[in-house]
Structure 1
Amino acid sequence: CGLVVGRLSGDVEISNVTGLGDVQSTFGPLGGIVGMHRADDTHGKLSLDDVAFSGDVIGFYHDAMGAGGIIGFSNNFLIERASYQGNVSGVMFVGGILGAGWYEREDGEPAHSGVIKNSVSRGSVTSYLKFVGGIVGDLVQSGSAYLWYIKDSYSTSLVHGYESIGGLAGYMRGVAIRTSYFNGMLGSEWQMPAGVANFENQLASTRSTFYNSDKNPGLIEGPPINIAKTDQELRSLETFTEAYWDIGAPGSSHNWTFEVGTYPQLSWEFE
């Protein structure tokens, strides 16, 4: 179930789309733009560029699994310059941009990829059980982490759930996060949330990625995944230049824009 299209397969490109309204369903997956996309063993990528959705994405009852502000579920995707503003909720696998992305590669199969970059979510993201994150609820794959990653993205959402709650990713395996940050607030009914992401052993990584520890005190901090920065540090350009972000003053050609006393924003948001 999606405002633009419910279910897709094969190679699909969607660009320059803005959606406004609410999406509600008693079953999933559901998303603001696309509900579900599934590639077969040989081809079929979903590519989204310059898409935005404002409104609520609400999954009711136990069958409403996989809810995303932009996409509910996909196993082969490229999401660029996506923006979500609203409240997304569901039972499990709930994310501000993507609800869930899974891919278990069999021998001889071509590699699928899952990429989210230059994207932002604002509002609230709620799971009534588990796997909930400001960008993605659950991202799991058995291929190459070079093909599955989140980059240059951020969330300011209120993220709430019962288990596997993360500022950017509720849970991830075989996935990397680069030059991104979480500047929202986390809430939990049971398990302690993760400032950036919950992960499985060494099958996930982050680099130059942070969460706001003043807004989320008392979380377990430290490498390799969940790196805390104070609110003041996130308002300092030095924090990001030292981490090799592509960031600069408004009007520059950098990927991120920074104004003194504020937090980084993606430069395309000012276009």
Structure 2
Amino acid sequence: MKKLFPFVGFAIFLIFFLFKVSAQTATPPALGDGSSGNTYQIANLENLFWVTTLEDYEGVYFLQTANIDALQTATWFDNQGFPSIGNIVHPFSGTYNGDSFVVSNLYQSWGFNTVGFFGYVASTGEIENVILIDADISIYEDSREYCGGLVAENMGRISNCQVSGTVSADMFVGGLVGYNFGGTIENSSSTCDVLGTFAVGGLVGYNHGTVIDCSSSGIIEGDRKVCGFVVHNEKYGIIKTSYSKSYVFGNEQIGGFAGMHELEFNGEPAIIENCYAWGSITRLESQTAESVGSFIGTVKEAPVKFCYTNTEVIYENTTNPTTKGFIGEEIISASFDNNFFNSQVTGQSSGLGALPKTIEELQLQETFTDANWDFIGETDNGTEDFWGINSVDNSQYPFLSWQGYKIEPIITEEPTASTLECGDALENSSLTGVAANIEGEFAFLYPDYVPNYGYSTCPVCIYT
């Protein structure tokens, strides 16, 4: 028996050591009381784990104050990882402000529904300025649903959030949100690769809410209802001023932007407008589904307007189609207003709901403004300035104004100066017909001359 004691002691030590290595500690924040004026300050992983242990989030405020490396979460709870913040029983109904600090290497792999950094967010819940980098989020059991990189099920408000990494589950999977039910998502993005079977989207799996000024990019793979941005947009789903640059692989109801877009709830509109898609969609081998479109797979009544697509359409191991330039199939007549598809990039000569345009045509602002698109620098089509274009950014195609690219000045009328030639004095001459400010270097004959407006640094003057 004495000979067993050293072995037993070592085994106990080993178990204790392994437990300590993989154990998690919930530590309340050192600062804050959770009120709006004195928020809980989340400074480390232990504080973050503590947030998951709460049962009442109503009216509670959290502020992240440092970058948090969550690499060790891969060993937590028998390698199932970080538990979600909030669930159906105890939904997250408070406010979490990430303050643009990073949570990196977050790991979650659970065998039940509703998995994400945040699990279930109530209508009063708000999540803002959260950045997840290299997240690995999954549900490993089949027939489970609602998985998102940031939020699994959202009824609240998400703003200014970013997620990168991988997200996978069987159904209702999104790089940012699995299921957006009445919630609002704005100014947020996903660059996740997303894998699933049904309702798999680059940003959102299923949308019954509002998505504005958002983007997605990544590799998106599934079977049915697979797309680059929002898979199924229905009922009162509103998607505006957003884009996807994704590579999509699926079998039916697949699209570069949306898989299914339909109007079906008490007359409430489901709308997609002022959006665009790039990348490619691939219908996998031996499939025959026709619900494959460069922009949307299937449309049922719901309107689509002021959108364009550069998404290539590929049928694996068979002849590519030529009629899927925009919408794959229309179940019930829908309204389409002033949409375009790139006939050269998509490989399509025609497409339901949109007009074909060449690369050159889609790089001209006039193509769009002639079709009533609202661009920066013009007012005939509105003053909300949804779109912009220049000769450098976004491969010279239109971009959304919130993307922040510079707008090149537009000269609506050439200046005239019938008596002014190179080397002549500006005295007694004038420039007219310029509908915007002019900026440049002008050499004046008289160094003391100051123009009537603008400013001067004579003898070489800057005249605006």
The answer, yes or no, to whether TM exceeds 0.5 is: yes
How far apart, CA to CA, are the structure 2 residues paired with 1:89 and 1:230? 33
TM-score for both structures, normalised by structure 2 = 0.47
Contact 1:99/1:137 (CA < 8 Å) preserved in 2? yes
Give the equivalent residue in structure 2 for 1:56.
Answer: 166
1:132-143 paired onto structure 2 within 5 Å? 132-141=226-235
Pairing partner for 1:210 from 286, 298, 308? 308
Larger Rg computed on CA atoms: 2
Which SS does the other structure have where 1:233 is aligned? helix
How far apart, CA to CA, are the structure 1 residues paired with 2:293 and 2:184? 25
Query: Which AA in structure 2 matches 1:25?
Result: I
1:8 to 2:121 alignment: yes
Contact 1:50/1:82 (CA < 8 Å) preserved in 2? yes
Give the equivalent residue in structure 2 for 1:196.
Answer: 295
Task: For CA contacts below 8 A with separation 6 or more, give which structure has more relative contact order.
Answer: 1
Contact 1:185/1:215 (CA < 8 Å) preserved in 2? no
How far apart, CA to CA, are the structure 2 residues paired with 1:227 and 1:32? 36
Change (3 A) 1:158 1:46: same
Worse-matched range after superposition: 260-269 or 5-14? 260-269
Give the equivalent residue in structure 2 for 1:260.
Answer: 391
1:15-30 paired onto structure 2 within 5 Å? 15-20=128-133, 21-26=135-140, 27-30=144-147
Give the equivalent residue in structure 2 for 1:36.
Answer: 153
How far apart, CA to CA, are the structure 2 residues paired with 1:2 and 1:229? 42
Change (3 A) 1:157 1:234: farther
Query: Which AA in structure 1 matches 2:224?
Result: K
Query: Which AA in structure 2 matches 1:100?
Result: Y
- The Cα of 1:3 is off from its aligned counterpart by 4.4
Please list every run of 5 or more consecutive structure 2 residues that lacks an aligned counterpart in the other structure: 1-113, 264-269, 311-341, 378-383, 406-464
1:165 to 2:254 alignment: yes
Contact 2:173/2:179 (CA < 8 Å) preserved in 1? yes
- The Cα of 1:230 is off from its aligned counterpart by 3.4
Query: Which AA in structure 2 matches 1:218?
Result: Q
Which SS does the other structure have where 1:157 is aligned? strand
Query: Which AA in structure 1 matches 2:297?
Result: N
Contact 2:219/2:247 (CA < 8 Å) preserved in 1? yes
Pairing partner for 2:184 from 61, 71, 78? 78
1:232-251 paired onto structure 2 within 5 Å? 232-248=360-376
TM-score for both structures, normalised by structure 1 = 0.78
Which SS does the other structure have where 2:145 is aligned? coil
Contact 1:137/1:171 (CA < 8 Å) preserved in 2? yes
1:230 to 2:358 alignment: yes
Contact 1:29/1:66 (CA < 8 Å) preserved in 2? yes
Query: Which AA in structure 1 matches 2:298?
Result: F
- The Cα of 1:15 is off from its aligned counterpart by 1.4
Please list every run of 5 or more consecutive structure 1 residues that lacks an aligned counterpart in the other structure: 38-44, 103-113, 142-146
Give the equivalent residue in structure 2 for 1:105.
Answer: none
Change (3 A) 1:79 1:230: farther
Contact 2:203/2:230 (CA < 8 Å) preserved in 1? yes
Which SS does the other structure have where 2:346 is aligned? coil
Contact 2:148/2:175 (CA < 8 Å) preserved in 1? yes
How far apart, CA to CA, are the structure 1 residues paired with 2:277 and 2:356? 10
How much is the aligned-residue C-alpha RMSD, in angstroms? 2.4
1:142-157 paired onto structure 2 within 5 Å? 147-157=236-246
Change (3 A) 1:184 1:233: farther
How many aligned positions are there? 237
Give the equivalent residue in structure 2 for 1:106.
Answer: none
